[in-house]
Structures are given as C-alpha cells and as structure tokens.
Structure 1
Amino acid sequence: MTRARRTLAAAVTLTVAATTLTGCFEESSPHEAVRDFLVGWQSEDYDLAAGRTDGDQTTVRKALADAKQELDAASFRFRITGINVQGDQSKADFEAEVDLGENNPLWQYEGVLPLHLVNGAWKVHWSPSVLHPQLKEGQRFAVDTEPKPRQPVLDRAGDPLQTDQVLYVAGVHPATLGDRAEEVVAQLSEVTGYAQDRLLSRVRSSPPDKFVGLVTFGRARYLSMRAKLDAIDGIEVDPQPQPVNPDAPRQIVGSVSALTPETEQKLGGPQRAGDSVGRNGLQQAYQDYLTGSTQTKVIILDLKSGRQVALLKEWRGRQNVPVKTTIDRAAQAAAERAVAATPTSALVAVQADTGQILAVGTKGMNQERDALAGKFPAGTAFSIVAADALLRRGVSPKQRLACPQERTVGGARFVQTGQVVGTTTSATFQANFARGCVTALASLARRVTADDLSRSARAYGLGQPWKLPLRSFSGTLPPLAGDADRAKAIAGQTVQVSPLGLALVAAAVSSGTWRPPVLVTEPSAPDPAADPVPAVQPSPVPVDPEVRTALTAMMRAGAAGTPAQAGKGRVYGVTAAAGNGQSWFVGWQGDVAVAVLAKNYNPAAVAGSFFAGLNSAP
C-alpha cells in the first residue's frame, strides 16, 4: 500500500474514532481530554491536542509536529484501551499505530497518558513520555534505514548477466546542516522535482551523523545537473556502483534506471533514494526480489551527542536475492553472431530435454515482444504438428503425393512458390514435408479430423497456458469447420506461433517429450508474496515413439543439403515459408533445439551459423 493510500485510510479511521469517542464519553470525566488530545494528534490539529495538556502550548505543538517529521510518518492512529480514575488523578492507556511509509510494517506500541485536575478541568500532564514511554527530555525519535544494494540477474552458471554502472546519489549529513536543512532541501527540490516535504522528512527522521541519500541520478542526468548540485552548499554526491548495465540478451535481462520522483510515487515502497528501478525485462519482473526491502529501525537519539540511546523497533526487511536464469553464455554468444548478418531475424534456442531457454538473439526485432511473445504465421513449419496428426492417422512417410504449382482444397486455393518437388505422384510425403510443398500438404486435409489437428497442436504446446515471467505466446489454432479450414491449418496459413513456441515443438520431437519453457530457475515466482508457490505449468506430454521415429527421419531429410547442415554433427529440421518475405527454420542439433524467423534471409543459414558457433565454443 502506498503512503497516499495509507493516509487516506487513516483519515477514514479518524472520523470513526472521533464519532465513537464523542458519543461514548462523559463531559465530567477525563475521557474528553483523552479524546481531544489523541484526535488532535492524529489529525494534526495540534492546537486542539495542546489545549488538553498542562504544558506550554508552543512546546507541545512543536513536539507533536516534530514527532511526525522525526518518524517520517504518513499517519498516526490511536485506540484507547482503558482509563483509570483515582480522585484528582487519572491514567489513560492507549495503543498507537504509526505508518512509517515506504511499505514498512506498521509500528505499533502501547502508551500512557497521565492526567490530573487543573482548576476543575482534566489535563494531560505533559512530558515527552506522553509520546512514547521511553522518550525523555533532551531526546528525539529517529528512523535509521539500511537500503540493500541491488542483486544481479545471473546466467545458468551463476555469473552476472550485467556489469556495474555508477549511479550518483545526492544526499546530506544532517549534522552538518544545522538549521539550514529546510533551505538546502528547498533548493534540491527545485532542482530535481522531488517533493520538498518528503525530502525534509527524510533528513529530519535520520540519525544526524549518517549520510542520507535523497536523489539518485544516472550518469547522463548527473552530468547535466552537476553544476546545479555543486551550487547547493551541504549537498554531497556519493557514486555507487550497481549491477545495472545489461549483457546479452539485453532486452531479456532488462534495463535499470535511477529512482525518479515519478517512479517513486508510482512504486510507493520499498524503494528509496539510492535504489535503482527495473524498467523492463527480468529487472522489472523481479524488481522486489532484486532490491528486497529496506532494513528499518525506530530509535531514540540523545539530542546533544546524536547517539542512539534506545532501540524501539526493528524490521530487518525482506532479503534481496539474485535471479538465476537458464541463459547459457556460449549459446547466447553464438545466437548474437548468427543473427548479426541478417537484416531482420529472431532466434530462440532451448535445451531439448528440459525446455530451458538457452539463448534469445534478435536483429531488428525485440527479444521479448517478438522472440518470446510474437504472433507470426506458422507457414509450413506447422507441418511438424500436422504430421504428428497425419502419422497417427496412418499416413505413411512413403506415401506418394503430387506437388503441383496450384491446388484447390474445399474451395481454398494454394500456390506453391519456389521449387516444385514433383507434379506427379513420384515424391513421397516425407519429401514434400522436407521441402515444404504447401499444395501437397494441403491435399492431406481429408486424412485428418479437426479434433486430430487440435489434439496434436495441444500436445505440442500450442494454445497451452504455459507462463514465463516475461510476456510470451504459446500459439493459436482457429476453429476448423471443413476441408478448407483443415487444409489452411496444415499449411500453417491460419496458425499463429512465436519463435519460442516453435523451438519447443522442435525440442519435443528431439527429446520425445513436449515440455513448457523455463527461463528463471530461482526464485520460483516473480512476486515475493506468491513464493514459494510456483506458477502452475502444463504437464509434459510424451510424443508417440513411432510418430517420433518417423518425424525424426522426416526432419533429417528436411535439413539435408541446407545451410543448417554447415557444421559438424547431424542437424534435423525444416525450412518453411511464412509469407511477407518471412521464413522459418525449426530443428535441432544434439540437445539444442532452435526456431529461427528471418525476413529476406535464409533462416537455415542462421541456424547453421548458430550451431557452428555453438560447436566451436570452448
């Protein structure tokens, strides 16, 4: 809950409390004095509260106002738990609830109000202990915080996927400001746009000898504002290296920025000045894990020495932890090199027997929006899934099929572009599959039902509700009402997929089991409140062994003679047209499955470059 929302809640509570107290208490008892004092303190009507004490009115008003600033409190709420009257003396017990903001837990404590009769009227006997039983003359509240440095995003080997970058934290040592704190904070607020009252509360709530970070800058913004900051007497700048400069895959890892007035207001807590904020990718998805929450202490300080004399409450905060991914540096480097020569492409590589994402490389495309979550026509790459349904229905890889330039199925027209495998029945289903003959594949629409195709699509993850901590797309298969619809689906014309989804299809044939994708292994969920309960993922789905054997041979034929088979080791796969100059390669080598989407470039060449780079990695 943000500071603003808690303050609103306090205001509502105050109305209820005031009404309840007014209706219940007698005028002739100390109840009215207790009610007015606590309601005045809670509502910041310090004149009302001070008027119900026997202390100097100016002193009481200042003490109550100072307590709010010294605690950097968003609100106070009170509940009277009992009143005891003995003659002209009385004692009221109350429970206090202080919202320290920054998403810290509420501070709750028990207090006592001593009262006595003064000229026939009940008055709260004033002393600092009215604010808290342990507070004495010559002392003040303070809040001591210890923000934790940001943790890194790691690759599968536990090495950081980013390097340190210096952030610049402007702040003060309150003890050196003396009575100039308000003046200095006003200047800093004017320069940076941060709310003056918030900055001042942080200064006045902190131990005087401790550096208080107030505003964080990235390098470019700091250099642009350096002269203005230097001109403010009392402002110090502390350069703080933080792991925020992303390595590849940069858009998956995500970028980080310094905390700004806008992001602080939006996020509420636990962020404070000196913290960094994930803007996208895993840095944003796991922000609360990477930053943890601030360790906070409510303490009492001696005014003369500035030393701590009492610890009233401590919250250790949620420990921040690194985020461990499945990214493999060697595979990522090979992916980056493979896509570099293309005008536009995306490559996703997964470990075939686990579904773990090893690399995401793009050129002219976004790694998250396009490679993981893109919605692209499957083209004849869907023939892998369609072949599963056809093989289950008894269609033999050796069956002869013609591959004419054009064919009409159920009223839908199909045109084969590029090489024609054979206009007679001389070519097999396997040969037509390997070369992506859309007219031959469409002709098989009557050999399967809509349920057959839908069942195979689900078995290979299309439309399944698998989840990643980043945006992703599992694919869609439209309703299939007749021959034309089935033919269009087999040809992949009405099927949408992502590169990640097709990489998982290749992994299923390679390993013999379809598995949902995995990008992060620790922590188990992006939301700390949900941990350790992991997101529900679909169960693995085994591929029929006989179907897998046939598909493996068909995909071996599909890769033979293509640039995908450029390096050492046998490659399996298919090259497929997807329209608009885009084409796919979907396949595997060893235990690494890939899907490549390229525009105006041979995707098999990208895959071949990737496999060659992976094989040559140390």
Structure 2
Amino acid sequence: MATNRTFASQVTCVIFLAAAAVQGCTPRPDGPAPSAERFFAALATGDTATAAQLSDDPGQAREALNAAWAGLQATHLDAQVLGSKYTEDTGTVTYRYTWHLPKNRTWTYDGQLKMARYEGRWQVRWTTTGLHPRLGEHQTFALRADPPQRASVHELGGTDVLAPGTLYHYTLDASRAGSNLIATVHAVVDALRPFDDTLDPQLLAERASSSTKPVELITLRTDDNNRVAPMIGSLPGVVITPQAELLPTDDRFAPAVVNQVKKAVIDRIDGEAGWRVVSVNQNGVDVAVLQEVEPSPAPSVSISLDRAVQNAAQHAVDGQGGKAMLVVIKPSTGEILAIAQNA
C-alpha cells in the first residue's frame, strides 16, 4: 500500500509538473504588432479612414493622416514593423516609414507607434508621433523645394559673361488698387518715366480698370528696382514679382553672341534642386526641418570668346567709317576668339 501511494504521489507530481511546463510554453496572448500591422497596411495605401478607425481617436487621427499625405504630396508609403514590446495593456511598435515623394525622392525614418489594449483589443493610442517622432501636437508635414543657384557662363579668360541674377516684373492690378487706382497710377507713371516716357496716367487707369488681368508695366534689373520699389512697391495695386534669370555681366560684350549662347545653354545651368521636409504648426509656420537635401548646382559653362581679344576687335570695328565686321579665329584649334561688328 505504501508503495502504491508513493507511486501515485509520483505520478501526480509528474502530471503537475508537466501541466506547469505546458502552461509555461503556451504563447502569451497576441501583442500589439498585428493591430499595428493593420494600421500600417491601411496607411500605406492612403486609406486614412480605415487606419484612423484602428486608433482610439479616429477623428483626430484621420485629420492628421490626411494632412500628412497632402503636405508631403506623397505618391505612396512603405511601412515596416521593426519590433514591438508590451506589458499588460500598453505597448509600442517600432516602425520604419519610407515616403515616396515627387520627382523620385524618398524619405525614410524610424519611430514608435503607441498602443493600448481596450477590452482585450489592441488599438493605436493616437499621437502625432505615430507619423514622426519629432512631430508635435497640431503639427503636420510640408514639402519645400530649394532651387539651386544657376551656373554661370565664362569666357576663355575665366571672367563671367552670363551670371545668375534677378529681374523684377511690375504689374498693376486694378482690383487690388480699388478706390486708390488714380493715385497709384499717377505715382507709377512718375516713378517709371525714366524708363518709359510714353506712359499716360489716364490711359493706364482706363486699361487697368477695363482689364480682368493685371496690366504689364515694366521689368527692371536689381539696381533699377532698388530705386523704384521704395517709391511705388507698397502702393495698392502694384505687384512686383522677382524672376530668376541669367543676365549679361556687360551689355556691350558681344551682345549678339552672348544672347545666342544663353539660348543654347539655358537648359544646362539649373542643376538639381534641393528639398526639405519641415514640420509646420496650425498657422502654417515652419517649426523644424525634419529632412533636408542640399541643392546641387550645375557646373559652369565655358565659351571660346576671349574678353581681351573681343574688346580689341570691337574697338577696331568701331573705328571704321562704314559698316564692318571682324571675326578672330585661333589658328591652332579653329576656336572663335571674337566676333565684332559696328552696326
């Protein structure tokens, strides 16, 4: 009998230990990763409504997700789960986002999605860090372009004949001028008289008031704009638009040739634009730079004209009594060093 009891006790003990071992090997209930994966899958396809419903604040989440897609002008998103951890009813899922942006740009970064379990079901605890770890409340993304500085064009001696600059385009918008149109027109005509003495206040006012679009006034270089803008730039109806342009450094230096050179190289001088992703607040003000790629300028362009030779050739033809033209060619290479004419 004692032996039987001992055996029974041993069996009971083995069964208990086995049960304990089985219980210890039984997988814990699903963590937050599957719910997070559903959220990422919906977000990656732009289905912000479904993604938002997987959070504890669908309204705020959907608004933030829509703003992110719009601000980045994204074409699509790759979302990857890197890992997860949780204790009891809270957890985090580490993600990697790769946004695909216009012009074949990509933006990749890692962050953490906060998760919480409500009545046995995991949900996203919505905060804007679910979009980016440095994104604050009531903030979203904005994509900014940074144009590169245009390349210059230089002559054989190394000095620039065409260089990046700015032109300032002036227009008159009668709808903006309103009741101040007549006063604005008189000020504009007075300020622009050194550049265009054909302007008439009455005719300009009639043209502006009868036009559905702003009336073209003049385009000025930087030095002239610096004199004119303080006089009329702040008047109602005057619109000044800066325009990047490749400008001659000397209007007297082979103007016909330089103009043709400009047309030939204009598509080669822009380089590659840079870009930034910034966080912006609810007022549209930039808060922080989250990603930045610097512009890459194009290399400068060289032409065979030689400034010293060109100036000498121009001086020679200017001294002729009749029409004259002179072309100077380097014998060893056939390169044109100068093209000058006096008419």
How high is the TM-score relative to the length of structure 1? 0.34
Q: Secondary structure at the match of 1:91?
A: strand
* Whole-angstrom CA distance in 1 between matches of 2:262 and 2:241: 25
* Whole-angstrom CA distance in 1 between matches of 2:92 and 2:305: 65
Paired AA for residue 100 in structure 1: L
Paired AA for residue 161 in structure 2: L
Between Structure 1 and Structure 2, whose CA radius of gyration is higher? 2
* Whole-angstrom CA distance in 1 between matches of 2:274 and 2:170: 18
* Whole-angstrom CA distance in 2 between matches of 1:33 and 1:236: 54
Q: Which residue of 1 aligns with 2:113?
A: 113
Q: Which residue of 2 aligns with 1:283?
A: 266
Contact 2:246 2:262 in 1 (8 A): no
Q: Which residue of 1 aligns with 2:285?
A: 306
* Whole-angstrom CA distance in 2 between matches of 1:49 and 1:357: 66
Contact 1:299 1:312 in 2 (8 A): yes
Q: Shift of residue 121 of structure 1?
A: 2.0
Contact 2:150 2:297 in 1 (8 A): no
Q: Shift of residue 128 of structure 1?
A: 0.9
* Whole-angstrom CA distance in 2 between matches of 1:130 and 1:97: 14
* Whole-angstrom CA distance in 1 between matches of 2:240 and 2:145: 18
Q: Which residue of 2 aligns with 1:242?
A: 245
Q: Which residue of 2 aligns with 1:62?
A: 63
Change (3 A) 1:298 1:358: same
Change (3 A) 1:67 1:348: farther
Contact 1:149 1:242 in 2 (8 A): no
Paired AA for residue 294 in structure 1: A
* Whole-angstrom CA distance in 2 between matches of 1:124 and 1:317: 38
Deviation track 1:307-350 (CA, whole Å, cap 9, x = no partner) reads: 52x33222222134532322224666859x8xxx89xxxx9865
Deviation track 1:266-303 (CA, whole Å, cap 9, x = no partner) reads: xxxxxxxxxxxxxxx2222x2xxx22333433222343
Structure 2 residue 261 is matched with structure 1 residue 253? yes
Change (3 A) 1:140 1:305: same
The equivalences for 1:333-482 within 5 A come to 350-353=329-332, 355=333, 357-359=335-337
Change (3 A) 1:99 1:67: same
Q: Which residue of 1 aligns with 2:295?
A: 317
The equivalences for 1:84-95 within 5 A come to 84-95=85-96
Structure 2 residue 275 is matched with structure 1 residue 296? yes
Q: Shift of residue 360 of structure 1?
A: 8.1
Q: Which residue of 2 aligns with 1:83?
A: 84
* Whole-angstrom CA distance in 2 between matches of 1:110 and 1:41: 15
Deviation track 1:218-271 (CA, whole Å, cap 9, x = no partner) reads: xxxxx9xx95358xx99965233522579442575142xxxxxxxxxxxxxxxx
Change (3 A) 1:303 1:236: farther
Deviation track 1:555-593 (CA, whole Å, cap 9, x = no partner) reads: xxxxxxxxxxxxxxxxxxxxxxxxxxxxxxxxxxxxxxx
* Whole-angstrom CA distance in 1 between matches of 2:310 and 2:304: 11
* Whole-angstrom CA distance in 1 between matches of 2:309 and 2:95: 63
* Whole-angstrom CA distance in 2 between matches of 1:296 and 1:132: 18
Paired AA for residue 243 in structure 1: L
Contact 1:36 1:48 in 2 (8 A): no
Q: Which residue of 2 aligns with 1:228?
A: 213
Q: Shift of residue 67 of structure 1?
A: 0.9
Q: Shift of residue 129 of structure 1?
A: 1.0
How high is the TM-score relative to the length of structure 2? 0.57
Q: Figure out how many residues of one structure are paired with residues of the other and give that number.
A: 244
Paired AA for residue 265 in structure 2: L
Q: Shift of residue 118 of structure 1?
A: 2.0
Contact 2:168 2:240 in 1 (8 A): no
Q: Shift of residue 110 of structure 1?
A: 0.5
Q: Which has the higher strand share?
A: 2
Paired AA for residue 240 in structure 1: Q
Change (3 A) 1:239 1:251: closer
The equivalences for 1:519-598 within 5 A come to none
* Whole-angstrom CA distance in 1 between matches of 2:89 and 2:126: 16
Q: Secondary structure at the match of 2:102?
A: coil
Structure 2: stretches of 5+ with no match in the other structure = 1-28, 172-207, 216-235, 318-322
Deviation track 1:452-473 (CA, whole Å, cap 9, x = no partner) reads: xxxxxxxxxxxxxxxxxxxxxx
Q: Shift of residue 162 of structure 1?
A: 4.0
Q: Secondary structure at the match of 2:111?
A: strand
Q: Which residue of 1 aligns with 2:139?
A: 139
Q: Which residue of 2 aligns with 1:36?
A: 38
Change (3 A) 1:229 1:53: farther
* Whole-angstrom CA distance in 1 between matches of 2:271 and 2:298: 4
Structure 2 residue 305 is matched with structure 1 residue 327? yes
* Whole-angstrom CA distance in 1 between matches of 2:69 and 2:237: 24
Q: Shift of residue 52 of structure 1?
A: 1.3
Structure 2 residue 76 is matched with structure 1 residue 97? no
Change (3 A) 1:296 1:235: farther
Deviation track 1:506-557 (CA, whole Å, cap 9, x = no partner) reads: xxxxxxxxxxxxxxxxxxxxxxxxxxxxxxxxxxxxxxxxxxxxxxxxxxxx
Change (3 A) 1:236 1:294: farther
Q: Secondary structure at the match of 1:33?
A: helix
Q: Secondary structure at the match of 1:41?
A: helix
Paired AA for residue 306 in structure 1: V
Contact 1:161 1:248 in 2 (8 A): no
Q: Shift of residue 123 of structure 1?
A: 1.0
Paired AA for residue 300 in structure 2: P
Q: Which residue of 2 aligns with 1:585?
A: none
Q: Which moved more, 1:149-158 or 1:92-101?
A: 149-158
The equivalences for 1:19-30 within 5 A come to 29-30=31-32
Task: Calculate the aligned-residue CA RMSD, in Å.
Answer: 4.3
Q: Which residue of 1 aligns with 2:51?
A: 49
Contact 1:74 1:100 in 2 (8 A): yes
Contact 2:153 2:303 in 1 (8 A): yes
Contact 1:95 1:111 in 2 (8 A): yes
